[in-house]
């Protein structure tokens, strides 16, 4: 009974947007939720909250190092930002869109500005500062 109640509670918080995970993104999702680069020439973000796109590969050591940090940040900033991850080996077109010649590469997408790239692995405090100062800054 406890297990059923816990499962229901977790499902409810996920549905309400309180528990958020890193979302695996493919090209179709990118076009639908981030930017339709096939039909638009100028950047126009489609999201309803700031986002981070983590461009990574399974074989990349630094990428594996930051993956748990991104999971923690997705939970800490649930409802405030969305964190996506894109496997550059599977989504070569998206990797090329951001000129991902080295990974990990993070695309920081604020609501009303152009995205900025953040290259390389860092500690959690560095990512939190980027989120707070760039993605969630007060206008």
- Judge whether 90 lies within some domain: yes
Task: State the residue range of the domain holding 91.
Answer: 20-135
Cβ atoms of 109 and 50 within 8 Å: the answer is yes
> What three-state secondary structure class fits 139?
coil
Q: Which residues participate in catalysis according to the annotation?
A: 60, 63
- Judge whether 6 lies within some domain: no
- Judge whether 10 lies within some domain: no
pLDDT bucket at 127, cuts 50 / 70 / 90: very high
Q: Is 120 left (phi over 0), alpha (psi -120 to 50) or beta?
A: left
Question: Does the pLDDT of residue 16 top 60, yes or no?
Answer: no
- Judge whether 11 lies within some domain: no
Q: What does DSSP say about strands 105-109 and 51-56: parallel, antiparallel, or unpaired?
A: antiparallel
Give start and end residues of each alpha helix (H) in 17-82: 27-33, 61-76
- Judge whether 123 lies within some domain: yes
Rounded-to-integer distance, Cα 47 and Cα 50, Å: 7
Question: Does the pLDDT of residue 4 top 70, yes or no?
Answer: no
- Judge whether 85 lies within some domain: yes
**Cross-strand partners of 23:** 84
Rounded-to-integer distance, Cα 68 and Cα 123, Å: 11
What are the tens digits of pLDDT across the range 19-50?
Answer: 589 999 999 999 999 999 999 999 999 999 99
């Amino acid at each position: 009974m406890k297990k059923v109640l816990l499962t229901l509670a977790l499902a409810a918080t996920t549905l309400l947007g309180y528990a958020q995970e890193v979302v695996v993104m493919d090209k179709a999702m990118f076009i639908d939720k981030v930017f339709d680069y096939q039909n638009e020439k100028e950047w126009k973000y489609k999201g309803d909250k700031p986002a981070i796109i983590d461009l990574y590969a399974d074989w990349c050591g630094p990428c594996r190092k930051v993956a748990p940090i991104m999971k923690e940040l997705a939970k800490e900033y649930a409802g405030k930002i969305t964190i996506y991850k894109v496997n550059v080996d599977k989504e070569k077109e998206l990797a090329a869109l951001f000129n991902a010649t080295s990974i990990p590469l993070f695309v920081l997408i604020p609501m009303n500005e152009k995205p900025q790239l953040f290259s390389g692995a860092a500690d959690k405090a560095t990512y939190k500062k980027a989120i707070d100062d760039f993605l969630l800054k007060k206008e």
